[in-house]
Structure 1
Amino acid sequence: MDNKIELSEIYGENVFSDHVMKERLPKKIYKELRKTIEEGKELDPMVAEVVALEMKQWAIEKGATHFCHWFQPLTGTTAEKHDSFINPQGVGEMLMEFSGKELVKGEPDASSFPSGGLRATFEARGYTAWDVTSPAFIKEASTGAILCIPTAFCSYTGEALDKKTPLLRSMEALSEQSVRLLRLFGNTTSKKVVPSVGPEQEYFLVDQEKALKRKDLIFTGRTLFGSMPPKGQELDDHYFGVIRERIGAFMKDVNVELWKLGVPSKTQHNEVAPAQHEVAVVYEEANIAVDHNQLVMETLKRVATRHGLRCLLHEKPFAGVNGSGKHNNWSIMTDDGINLLDPGITPHENIQFLLVLSCILKAVDIHADILRESASDVGNDFRLGANEAPPAIISVYLGEQLEDVLSQLISTGEATHSKECGVMNTGVKAVPDFQKDATDRNRTSPFAFTGNKFEFRMVGSSDSVASPNIVLNTIVAEAFKEACDILEKADNFDIALHDLIKKYVTDHQRIVFNGNGYSDEWVEEAERRGLPNIKSMVDAIPTLVTEKSVKLFEEFGVYSKAELESRVEIQYEAYSKAVNIEARAMIDIAGKQIIPAVIKYVTNLACSISAVKAAGVTEVTAQTELLSKCSDYLAKAQNALNALKEVTAKAADMEEGRNQAVYYRDDVKKAMDELRLPIDELEMIVDKEAWPMPSYGDLIFEV
């Protein structure tokens, strides 16, 4: 069978792309639509009608029978309601119709999605509005081919009920302030600046049949019980290892699906933990990158099922091996191709770059708390600060070259040189020498400069990348604005610029750390520097509604105070619900599967001892010791189960909000840990045939 893929033919074939629009739309309509996309010009209803007609025809040619407004509510996933193109015209007759109004506006039930009090059941109206900057696409699934129109989602009264709307607002804020900054340096050609994002997505793959035998994976996406097999990730032999055939076939299909959707899937490899893998996507404008990352996660899960696999996106599906994250690579690009984060060969002479860099240092230092919050979710609490992911302390890694430039500015007020990159000589004549990068990499840093971008490494694998990019865009917009406010009024621009850069790097040098972020010494040093160490999601949530945060987001129109307060309520509720589901799943699994299985095993063991003794054998020390151990752990498990039932019931009766979330974190999770301990010990003792679910070894090594 011919498995050859004609990439040039399939790439973007299911996208109503700029190329498709240029081909199909009348020139005048196309130009008007481009003005809306590029300049934010209001969309003419007549333009929408023509676009809708051509979009419908294109979709029907692709086999689509339905369309949907595809949006990203505050569940963290995507939502869609399918409507057919059919318009009945009498008995047995119909037309295929799709109007400009249907393209531009939809009306889902806003009260059925998380709203944090912005919508009540009797106030159900909400709107989805076409995001013209993100292209429509055809999704091929078991339901058929569906035309998906990326949209924003807001309430009847105008509040954002999604992640897309504030993202677009933050992008506009960053663009406006970045253009102001560029004008200070004589750039009169760049009209727009966009944040460019390239997410790296980590995930686990396990056998579907085995996963379906574990209720914890079904209900929570992670294992709530499980002992480590004799071998884990200790030998580092899985990382970048040869991709097994079954996984390779899966990856091939994932790539084809993504390429058809115009998602620029670039890199694939085995990650550190057994059964863990990664796919990385090339840089795109932030809102498109966010859309595409959602499609990546959906595609991974859908294609996995097709291959008899289960894709786990949870941040910590297995205790004892590394969890999964999502590195958010962020840079700032002009519409004519200038990267504001490119330091050039001699960064000490690139004064525009130094201003941009010093502003970012200031932004991250002042708003470290909300940047940390943007990467918060229940699963990520297992990773951050656990020596497998960045610490919960925000710091910035710059590398030797830029750190040296900043040191010069701080100490003498003048940067006169940049460290040379140097040449890499392997000592092998057959291997050519090559120019080294300007700096090493620090994989322990949460916010690392990696040449011409910053890599925010704290984001959880199951999360949308919208939240961190909303925060990054907004805090940097604020720093740019404050710098421009000063420099635009300066009598002597060069002196004012020099002084401002020195002030920013001096005042905010505490945020720069190039060392080992996993070390205990760094935790102590960070405390001395006064850097926040926010260890859990529950502690991070309140940072959204501090006076500082509200002022920031309201100034740039990204969030209103009411929208921020709603997100606080939603996150407390989401945390409590997630832990409650996990606790109830543990109660169900322990009470109905594991403890009964152990009782049966203990009973058989006791009967065996009696039978051996009856046969005249007096030496049954090994069996008796095993029986005693099992009985001891069994009693501990039953006591822990009863305690978990009690605290879970108490938590469920509490009023929703911070107090309930704190109780789930401090009391319910502690009770969960105490139940897991004896059960994991029992798994190491009880006959494998008697254990009621597949083990870690079965899941992560037998794929």
Structure 2
Amino acid sequence: MSGNESRVQAVYQITNREPLPPKAPKKLEDLWATDVFTLSKMQEYLPKSIFKSLKNTIQSGEQLDSSVADVVAVAMKDWAISKGALYYAHVFYPLTNATAEKHDGFISVQSDGSVISEFSGKVLVQGEPDGSSFPNGGIRSTFEARGYTAWDVTSPAFIMETDNGSTLCIPTVFVSWTGEALDKKTPLLRSNAAMNKAATKVLKLLGNTNVAPVNSSCGAEQEYFLIDANFANSRPDLLLAGRTLFGKPSAKGQQFDDHYFGAIPERVQVYMQDVEERLYRLGIPAKTRHNEVAPGQFEIAPFFEAANVATDHQQLLMTVLRNTAKKHGLVCLFHEKPFAGINGSGKHVNWSVGNPTQGNLLDPGDTPHSNAQFLVFCGAVIRGVHKYGTLLRAVVATASNDHRLGANEAPPAIISVYLGSQLEDVFEQIRQGEVKGSKCKGVMNIGVDTLPVLAKDPGDRNRTSPFAFTGNRFEFRAVGSGQSVAGPLVAMNTILADSLNWMADKLESELAAGTELNSAIHKILKEVMDEHGAVVFNGNGYSKEWHQMAVEERGLANLRTAADALPVLQQEHIEELFNKMGVLSPVELASRFETYSEQYIKSIEVEAKLVISMAKTSIYPAATRYLSELSNTILGLKELGLDFDTESIEKVASLTKSMMDLVSKLSLALSQHDFDSPEEHMQYLAKTIRPLMDSVREYVDALEGEIADDLWPLPTYQEMLFIK
């Protein structure tokens, strides 16, 4: 393949690289959680009484006994040092979707100049990073620097091992000096506590006497792209924006559907095995791996875990995917749409709630029509999603996710609930006033005697729904690939807590009036369907008819962009919800709007600057060189008496001029800064800057199809997606 020098060199290095040899497989039992300070390791290192106290805090949510901290710290240090760690780090999750960590050594200088390894309960429990240098939405001024990290005992400490050494990592929350949450973990823990309190109240009203703490659980399916680092390093847009701002579609993309679930490329499989070994050592239960729809796109999915631990593990998983990719000469991309024209990447958040005594509270069983407990909790979800659907849209609103939502590869921006035919029928019967039964599971005979008879679910699945019931959980499909799952989980836990509290109040009132329990439940669920059933939709979420029906007939919001969705966080009823549930104070919620709107603004401005820079310094020079070569060739042919068609040179010249005219227009538009509010600024970027960027791209991509390949300066889609 021809190409300019950097492209030729990149292709040569890729096709001639020595692949990393696959590692000899190890037994899962020998790998599992070897780098995690698990309960079994705590039991080994801690005195019996201390271990019992700590275990009660972890499993039952009891208050942490501060007197155990020193003993735990020494045990944790001894274990970490035995694993080769010389440093420890309080790991926290600021409002950036990234992970932050501050490293300190296990070192204490003595009076005689000698040193000893030391780690006290005080430094285990509390740390102090800078509270103003991370996004805080105005909670901390630049001159007000103090912030605190506090040990989250419910998420286990672990060893992060790199080629440069090992570090003991301690999951923490991150709060300001004035006590406000500056992170994603604190609201998640609060939301889970609010949901537990509300769920426990409902379960007891339903007649349960032994009710263990209720927890939310999460299993997040992570989609991502892999491209060779040689290509990524030649693309300023990929390096700085995470997506290609220019790029003509390859003649072959995903139209043959031959990549999805296809054979995993050998180089990628070696990478995946390396990733999985690291994940297993960190106690992350990776279960599924496969090719995704687009060329170069893949997916990894774990088992369900407690939501808080799953969130921490999700952040770790992204770190491991990125870092391991470097070792294999690859770059892992989490942008929701790194390549135009092919499938983008999401992070489907599978969510449920339950406890050890009542089990999974969103499991319908074989007869959901008679499963009152399930119907109550499912009805609470329906009410919550309808009442706070715009909040669910807001928590997945980013500049990058705007490229994915609403396309025929991801859910629409209209938030609806898919129940499946079985449950939709049951809830429709409730609405009509009489429940007679529910569809049963069936069997499927494929017609070949040697094949087994398959169990057939009572309902199909719906990939176009943003919030779909999938057997014993809900799948929030609108979450973006690069997002932390904490925000969506906070929203889901909080709206469920609100609805469960509403149901508890209704139940108490009905029971106090002498209504029989099942009749009271049926009455309340009928009210839910009458008031909130409009959010239930089992059809094609991509269809124009649904978009029209959803907005005009059902009153559902269609917030197409993050600029439309993020201001929801400022609405009075959203502020009231979070404040009432004790999840986010008005100040904390306002800080999140400020932070996320600022991130939206900065993301698009960075992309716009890159469009201008790349067009001026890479595309325009390539076009003018080609025009010069072409014009000289035509003149030479004319001197030989050959009449050569000038249509090609005229087309390239016209495209180049149009591109540069738009670049000038974009540059001028980007210089505007006199906005009265973040909302106005975001709308300007969404409606003016982004369309201009797209227009520049149209001309650049057209030029890629006209300019000689050996002059084109950027790695192409064909190269990046198909050369591994």
Q: Normalization by structure 2: what TM-score?
A: 0.95
Aligned AA for 2:56? Answer: K
Contact kept in structure 2, 1:204 and 1:313, CA below 8 Å = yes
Aligned residue for 1:546? 571
The one-letter code sitting in structure 1 at the alignment partner of 2:564 is D
Matched-pair contact (CA < 8 Å) for 2:372–2:518: no
CA distance in 1, matches of 2:420, 2:214: 26
Q: Which runs of 5+ in 2 are unaligned?
A: 1-20
The amino acid that maps onto 1:604 is: E
**1:90-134 CA distances to partner (integer Å, 9 max, x unpaired)?**
566210001101110000000000111100011110000011100
Q: Report the CA distance between 1:46 and its aligned residue.
A: 2.2
- The aligned counterpart of 1:450 is 470
1:577 is aligned to: 602
Equivalent residue for 1:364, pick from 359, 373, 385 = 385
Residue 88 of structure 1, CA deviation? 1.7
Q: Deviations 1:28-80 (Å, cap 9, x if unpaired)?
A: 00111122223433322320101000000000000101000000001111100
* Paired position in structure 2 for 1:646: 668
Q: What is aligned with 2:614?
A: 589
2:520 corresponding residue in structure 1: 496
Aligned match of 1:475: 495
CA contact (8 A) 1:587 1:641 kept: yes
- CA drift at 1:84: 0.7
Amino acid at match of 2:531: D
- Partner of 1:123, secondary structure, is coil
- Contact 2:412-2:542 within 8 A present in 1 as well: yes
Contact kept? 1:206, 1:311, Cα under 8 Å: yes
Of the three residues 311, 316, 324, the one matched with 1:290 is: 311
* Offset from partner CA, 1:148-172 (integer Å, 9 cap, x none): 1000000000100000000000000
What is the deviation of 1:546? 1.2
- Structural RMSD (CA): 1.2
Partner AA of 1:438 in structure 2: P
Name 1:276's counterpart in structure 2. 297
Q: Do residues 431 (structure 1) and 451 (structure 2) align?
A: yes
CA contact (8 A) 1:200 1:327 kept: yes
- Counterparts of 2:472 and 2:276 in 1: how far apart (Å)? 27
The alpha-carbon deviation at position 188 of structure 1 amounts to 1.8
8 Å CA contact retained: 1:194, 1:335? no
User: Would you say 1:146 and 2:167 are equivalent positions?
Assistant: yes
Residue 529 of structure 1 aligns to which amino acid in structure 2? R
Helix, strand or coil for the counterpart of 1:646? Answer: helix
What secondary structure, in the 3-state scheme, does the structure 1 residue paired with 2:381 have?
A: helix
Per-residue deviation at 1:615?
2.2
Tell whether the 8 Å contact from 1:545 to 1:561 is kept in structure 2 after alignment. Answer: no
5+ long unaligned stretches in structure 1:
none
Query: How far apart are the structure 2 equivalents of 1:356 and 1:42?
Result: 28
Letter in 2 for 1:553: F
Amino acid at match of 2:530: T
**Structure 1, 121-130 or 490-499: larger mean CA deviation:** 490-499
Aligned pairs for 1:244-643 (under 5 A) are 244-336=265-357, 338-411=359-432, 413-489=433-509, 490=511, 491-492=514-515, 493-527=517-551, 528-617=553-642, 619-621=643-645, 624-643=646-665
Deviation at 1:551, TM superposition (A): 1.0
Instruction: Write the letter of the residue equivalent to 1:640.
Output: L
Offset of residue 458 of structure 1? 0.1
Pairwise CA distance, 1:656: 6.5
Secondary structure in 2 aligned to 1:317?
coil
Q: CA 1:337–1:488 in 2, change beyond 3 Å: closer, same or farther?
A: closer
Alignment match, 1:128: 149
Take 2:73 and 2:43, find their aligned partners in 1: how far apart are those partners?
A: 14
Which residue does 1:167 correspond to in 2? 188
User: Residue 194 of structure 1 contacts residue 286 of structure 1 at CA under 8 Å; is this kept in 2?
Assistant: yes
Cα deviation for residue 700 of structure 1 reads 0.6
Partner of 2:360: helix, strand, or coil?
coil
Q: How far did residue 655 of structure 1 move?
A: 6.3
Contact 2:399/2:562 (CA < 8 Å) preserved in 1?
yes
- Inter-partner Cα distance in structure 1 for 2:477 and 2:532: 21
CA distance in 2, matches of 1:502, 1:661: 41
Is the 1:65–1:84 contact (alpha carbons within 8 Å) kept by the matching residues of 2? yes
Q: How far did 1:434 drift?
A: 2.3
State how far apart, in whole Å, the 2-side matches of 1:353 and 1:505 are.
Answer: 15
Q: CA deviation at 1:221?
A: 0.4
Conserved in 1, the CA contact under 8 Å of 2:567 and 2:679? no
Q: Deviations over 1:263-316 (max 9, x none)?
A: 000000000001000000110000111101101111111111110001110000
Among the aligned pairs, what percent are the same residue? Answer: 49
Provide the secondary structure at the position in 2 that maps to 1:82. strand
Deviation, structure 1 residue 654: 4.6
Structure 2 vs 1, CA of residues 225 and 91 (structure 1 numbering), >3 Å: closer, same or farther?
farther
Task: Give the Cα–Cα distance (whole angstroms) in 2 for the partners of residues 344 and 664 of structure 1.
Answer: 49
- Code of the residue aligned with 1:68 in structure 2: it is A
Read off the aligned partner of 2:541 and give its amino acid letter. G
TM-score (norm 1): 0.98
* Aligned mates of 1:482, 1:75 — CA distance in 2: 33
Partner of 1:65: 86
Q: CA deviation at 1:192?
A: 0.3
Contact 1:575–1:661 under 8 Å retained in 2: yes
Whichever residue aligns with residue 626 of structure 2, its letter is Y
For residue 108 of structure 2, give the secondary structure of its aligned residue in structure 1: strand
Please name the residue that 2:248 is paired with.
227
**AA paired with 1:437?**
D
CA contact (8 A) 1:573 1:656 kept: no
Cα distance between partner residues in 2 of 1:437 and 1:91: 73
Give the residue type in structure 2 aligned to 1:268: R
Structure 1: distance between partners of 2:428 and 2:192: 32
Report deviation, 1:337: 6.1
Other structure's SS at 1:151 match: strand
**Selected match of 1:184 from 189, 205, 225:** 205
Q: How many residues align?
A: 698
Q: Distance in 2 between matches of 1:305 and 1:148?
A: 22
Aligned-partner SS, 1:191: coil
Q: 679, 686, 700: which is aligned to 2:721?
A: 700
Aligned match of 2:700: 679
In 2, Cα distance between equivalents of 1:16 and 1:229: 48
Which deviates more, 589-598 or 81-90?
81-90
Q: CA contact under 8 A between 2:600 and 2:682: conserved in structure 1?
A: yes
Contact 1:202 1:326 (8 Å CA) reproduced: yes
Distance in structure 2 (CA, Å) of the matches to 1:224 and 1:385: 20
Letter in 1 for 2:274: D
C-alpha displacement at 1:689, in angstroms?
Answer: 0.9
Structure 2 distance, partners of 1:469, 1:226, is 35
Identify the match of residue 21 of structure 1 among 16, 23, 42. 42
